[in-house]
Amino acid sequence: MHRLVSQIVVSGLLIASLLIWQSSPLWASPTQITTAGGIFPSWSPEGTKIAFSSTRAGGGYNIWVIPATGGTATQITTDGGLSSSWSPDGSTIAYESVSSGNYDLWVIPATGGTATQITTDSGFDQAPSWSPDGTQIAFNSSRNGNSDIWVMPASGGTATQVTTDPASDFCPSWSPDGTQIAFYSDRSGNYDIWVIPAAGGTATQITTDQAWDWWPSWSPDGTQIAFASSRSGNWDIWVIPATGGTATQITTDPAWDDDPAWSPDGSQIAFDSDGEIWVTCFSGPSSTEESTWGRIKSMFR
């Protein structure tokens, strides 16, 4: 009898410890990467570098690249550059710039060199996002008089309109399988995260909070979307299942945290905070529930 009671007590303590472990935070304290200014982080495909935009050299914003662990940043563009996206093969960076006198998209070798303009429309073309297979670039454009999501060949050429809603749609982010594009829109009367097939079609609303949600970034495994939100009363980074559901707050600092970008291996999220680039580790939801309860049940066999 005493042995049975002891087993129950020990088992209860183990169950409690397992449940506490299972519900532990999914993130760690962020690490500051830049110290001389940086916004709009974008990971290199192998995860060792981060491109960003900065005015650190004077003369306006340009694209820079820094080791993902911090260190010396290298200037890539000299004629402007804001948000950027790395090509899947790591050779090229697409970015938006007003160097032509208008917001257009450009591409440049990831080590610097000669930039090539790939859009020339009189509308604003912004927020490039390279497709996972490297053949296309999604972006938002006002070329039809309204901000919509468009897709074009990565080498330049004719762009195809993806969203057609009268509302404003911004900042596309490809799903890792290339079949869907996340973006933010005020089509619900509030800025929320939406997802649409990459070929166009019916968009699905992902977030429904009354606060503003924007700048989505799809996780590499396709299960989650990171975004910036003011729902806590402050701008922070949040994560939500890619099909919708309950959002999880990732950052809690009083600073303005914005523009999340998921690392290629899914273990980290880069973001800008009050004008500097930071990185936080992220260990997303895993299949621990089955293994946890399997261990609990085995104690009573």
Give the tens place of pLDDT for each residue, 247-274: 999 999 999 999 999 999 999 999 999 9
Residue 284 has a pLDDT of 60
Tell me the residue ranges of DSSP E strands in 58-197. Answer: 62-67, 74-75, 84-86, 92-97, 104-109, 116-117, 125-130, 136-141, 148-153, 160-161, 169-174, 180-185, 192-197
Which pLDDT belongs to residue 184?
98
Q: 28-284: what CATH class?
A: mainly beta
pLDDT of residue 223: 98
By the 10 Å C-beta count (0-12 exposed, 13-18 middle, 19+ buried), 286 is classed as: exposed
**If you compute the radius of gyration of the chain from its CA atoms, what whole number of angstroms results?**
22
Q: What does the DSSP 8-state code read for residue 27?
A: B
Mean pLDDT for the chain?
Answer: 88
Which residues of the chain fall short of a pLDDT of 70?
A: 1-28, 284-301
Read off the pTM. 0.86
